[in-house]
Structure 1
Amino acid sequence: MQSSNQQNFFETDASQAKRLKKDLKSQNQSGNPIQLRSKINAAILDPAAPTSCIYAAASSGWVRRVDVDAEDNQSTTSIYSGPKAPLTSLCLGGAGNSILFAGCWDRSIWSWDVSTRRPLKNYVGHSDFVKAVTCSQLGDKHILISGGADKKIIVWDISTGARLHTLQDTVVAMLAVQDLVVDPAISTKDEVHLVSASSDPHIRRWKVSLESAEKIVEADPDAPGTIRHSILEHETSVYKLVFDNEGGGDDGEVDLWTSSADGTSKCLSRMKGFAAEETLEHGDYVRAVALVGAEWVVTAGRDEDLRVWDRASGKMVLEVEGHFDEVTDLVVLEGGKRVVSVSIDGTVRTWEVDRKGIEEMKKRQDEAREGGGEVKEEEEKKGDMLTAEEEAELAELMGDDD
């Protein structure tokens, strides 16, 4: 019989310390954790219950509808199953957002009827993992847009499953697509403006109609007389794109926020040709960024912690500990004061991100640090002391010098 317990295998001091730290953090009850017992790769808001419910996609191949205000053992209200491979991304679409879509490692997009949970079409066309999905509408036709590790973006007719367009960048080499978002400021009923992020640092813009689809190229604002084929403000992979609906709306001034493996989240100003206007130095891979009202920005990623930033000053006001593995997504609940985080640690956590909530989180963290101060000091003292064996060895060495 084989064991999967890491303690039964050889561990370096560093790996043992990391495991012990993770074990300790796993007991953290911050954010009222709901344990889903599988790595959670993505989450979206449920517009039917936007103050308390999300959909979460897991590596085990299911999607769960989670009520964050319910008790842990009653939090899952619906389960959407069928895939045998990890799910990477989620979106809602079709008439009245009646269909739930999930990108999958099996190279397809799964879909379910939201109300009955009955599996619907599988959209098959990518040759590698599907990493991102989003939905929109062209005229009377509801469309699904997917991006994959095969470096392709595919536009689908939801009702028939037919492929309408396939997009690839033939000028600036594009790697795996990481995120897709529809530009709410300039899309129309007949033309969708799409923005894509990928494993290369380039952010690309596309325009899609029923008749055609192409990449947007335009004059470079920094180099008059030249053409810009992409937005280049990061040094490496871009994971998440979020349009700032607080920043404008229908007047065309909606800015774009990004998160990247270069350790930053940036606000790209539309008025400046999507040049970086604000840079938040998170410090490690930033997998997700969320805009909480007009006051706060939340970033999270590989270092497991959430950081809350003051939008006006660009300064970090709080570092939130809670998760014990990489944070993969953030969802802002309706009302603009609560943020839900999901992680590959298998938990869903909810945070009050307003002035009162931030002050309370600061207070709890200060109390926790003070409470653990004596223990930490004692451990540091022990770390400076020699064991009996070490003292004997030292005495022997000193005796040799005589």
Structure 2
Amino acid sequence: MGKLQSKTSFHTSKYRADGCVEGTGPVGAVRRHSPAHADAVTSVAALKPDLCVSGGRDKSVAVCSWRSGAALRHFVGHEREVTKVTCALDTNRVFSASRDKTVMMWELHGTSGPSQHFLGHDLVVTGLAVSPDAFQLCTGSRDNTMCKWDIETGECLGRAAISRNLVTHLCWVPGEPYVIQASEDKTIRIWDSRELQVAHAFPAKRHIQTCCDVSQDGRYCLSSSSGSAGEGGEATLWDLRQTRTRVCEYKGHFQTTTSCVFLPRGPGLTPSIATSSYDSTVKVWDRDAGACLATLCLEGSGPLASLAVCDSSTLLCASFNSGIHVLQMSDGMDPALEEVAVF
């Protein structure tokens, strides 16, 4: 891909050998708020225009205002680390998966306890996806199974198992009955949720697939790979209509890429994506050309675990050591990425 160049706008920067941006003096200070969690943040998702939901190693689920950093709700009920969080669009419902093998549903304006339990997995639950109509939930686990649930009753509507299919992430295709699934067996699968059957599997990659995302138009899928010492760690773009080969790869992270998301772009602007990695960097990429447009190193954050898109210019990044980072993106010929707050 050639030499990477930083496009961060808030300081003059240079690259260290590990790929991080080394700052020579910030122009604007990062706003620091009380942390949402007492330990590593493992997952973050956008909830409403001004809110986000997160889960952590402290076993709690937090709902915060990403604009002010204020914590609005803390839900406690899991017995072990929360692994994934998600929400049902246009509702006040939040879902969390945990190493305690359970999934719980929480009401934003309800009691502090869970309003629904989804029990049935034998190992840690590592995938969560809510249907576009908010009636069904799909979950995946390291027990090699996918489950479909009725959100209102908590009833398991279907269960499917594939040998060695250790689920790492799930996402629902907008407006469709299909769920995308990433796996430790290095494969991205498309599930038909109606019968809970695999409709298609992309050619296996060389490394564990850690995360997946789907574009809002339902045409493209992203996946990210594990890696170390500069091997692996790429993100991959797939066309859901032409499912034989990958469309593009994004190579530049030095360690495992943990999260990948499509970024909303205005008319006439370059379609782009973002990735986060154990190497403490967040990168923005040209979706079609594969070029790295901006790199931001969150020094001291430790491994970065999860990304969430809040609006056309705001990205949240969950980290192991320093909470949730609020990142601002700018459009134009030279896209910029900067940290503005942390909580």
How far, CA to CA, are the matches of 1:165 and 1:59 in structure 2?
29
The answer for unaligned runs of 5 or more in structure 2 is 1-21, 227-231
Q: 1:345 to 1:160 in 2, by over 3 A?
A: same
Q: Does 2:147 align with 1:154?
A: yes
Q: 1:316 to 1:30 in 2, by over 3 A?
A: farther
Q: Which residue of 1 aligns with 2:19?
A: none
Q: Does 2:118 align with 1:100?
A: no
Q: Which residue of 2 aligns with 1:182?
A: 172
Alpha-carbon contact 1:93-1:144 (below 8 Å) kept: no
Q: Which residue of 2 aligns with 1:84?
A: 79
SS of equivalent to 1:333: strand
Give how far 1:348 is off.
1.1
Alpha-carbon contact 1:352-1:358 (below 8 Å) kept: no
Give how far 1:317 is off.
2.6
SS of equivalent to 2:135: strand
The letter of the residue matching 2:110 is: T
SS of equivalent to 1:60: coil
Q: 1:359 to 1:183 in 2, by over 3 A?
A: closer
Q: Which residue of 2 aligns with 1:331?
A: 308
Q: 1:344-386 CA distances to partner (integer Å, 9 max, x unpaired)?
A: 1141111111137966658x9xxxxxxxxxxxxxxxxxxxxxx
Alpha-carbon contact 2:329-2:336 (below 8 Å) kept: no
Q: Which residue of 2 aligns with 1:350?
A: 326
The letter of the residue matching 2:294 is: L
Q: Which residue of 2 aligns with 1:131?
A: 126
Q: Does 2:196 align with 1:216?
A: no
SS of equivalent to 2:116: coil
Q: 1:198 to 1:38 in 2, by over 3 A?
A: same
Alpha-carbon contact 2:59-2:76 (below 8 Å) kept: yes
How far, CA to CA, are the matches of 1:100 and 1:321 in structure 2?
30
SS of equivalent to 1:150: coil
Q: Does 2:108 align with 1:114?
A: yes
Q: Which residue of 1 aligns with 2:6?
A: none
Q: 1:342 to 1:178 in 2, by over 3 A?
A: same
How far, CA to CA, are the matches of 2:221 and 2:337 in structure 1?
28
Q: 1:208-233 CA distances to partner (integer Å, 9 max, x unpaired)?
A: 22xx332215xxxxxxxxxxxx2125
Q: 1:155 to 1:271 in 2, by over 3 A?
A: closer
1:363-382 aligned at under 5 Å gives the runs: none
Q: CA RMSD in A?
A: 2.8
Alpha-carbon contact 1:31-1:350 (below 8 Å) kept: no
Q: Which residue of 2 aligns with 1:222?
A: none
TM-score, length-scaled by structure 1: 0.68
How far, CA to CA, are the matches of 2:214 and 2:52 in structure 1?
19
Q: Does 2:260 align with 1:270?
A: no
**Which fold has the larger relative contact order, with Cα–Cα distance below 8 Å and residues 6 or more apart in sequence?**
2
Q: Which residue of 1 aligns with 2:12?
A: none
262, 266, 275: which one aligns with 1:299: 275
Number of residues paired by the alignment? 301
Give 1 or 2: higher strand fraction.
2
Q: Does 2:279 align with 1:308?
A: no
The letter of the residue matching 1:331 is: A
How far, CA to CA, are the matches of 2:274 and 2:137 in structure 1?
28
Give how far 1:137 is off.
6.2
Q: 1:252-275 CA distances to partner (integer Å, 9 max, x unpaired)?
A: x61111111131011112343152
Q: Which residue of 1 aligns with 2:53?
A: 55
Alpha-carbon contact 2:293-2:335 (below 8 Å) kept: no
The letter of the residue matching 2:330 is: D
Give how far 1:126 is off.
0.4
Q: 1:265 to 1:117 in 2, by over 3 A?
A: farther
TM-score, length-scaled by structure 2: 0.79
SS of equivalent to 2:289: coil
Give how far 1:136 is off.
1.4
Give how far 1:241 is off.
1.1
Alpha-carbon contact 2:263-2:273 (below 8 Å) kept: yes
Q: 1:274 to 1:256 in 2, by over 3 A?
A: farther
How far, CA to CA, are the matches of 1:32 and 1:241 in structure 2?
30
Q: Which residue of 2 aligns with 1:389?
A: none
Q: Which residue of 1 aligns with 2:295?
A: 319
Q: Which residue of 2 aligns with 1:6?
A: none
Q: 1:167-202 CA distances to partner (integer Å, 9 max, x unpaired)?
A: 122xxx4332111111225x2xxxx21121111111
How far, CA to CA, are the matches of 2:238 and 2:30 in structure 1?
30
How far, CA to CA, are the matches of 2:31 and 2:304 in structure 1?
15
Q: Which residue of 1 aligns with 2:156?
A: 163
How far, CA to CA, are the matches of 2:336 and 2:170 in structure 1?
35
Q: Does 2:197 align with 1:207?
A: no
Q: Which residue of 1 aligns with 2:137?
A: 144
Q: 1:312 to 1:232 in 2, by over 3 A?
A: closer
How far, CA to CA, are the matches of 2:282 and 2:310 in structure 1?
16
Q: Determine which structure has more spread, i.e. the larger CA radius of gyration.
A: 1
SS of equivalent to 1:46: strand
The answer for unaligned runs of 5 or more in structure 1 is 1-23, 218-229, 365-402
Q: 1:31 to 1:144 in 2, by over 3 A?
A: farther
SS of equivalent to 1:85: coil
The letter of the residue matching 1:258 is: S
How far, CA to CA, are the matches of 2:262 and 2:170 in structure 1?
17
Q: Which residue of 2 aligns with 1:259?
A: 224
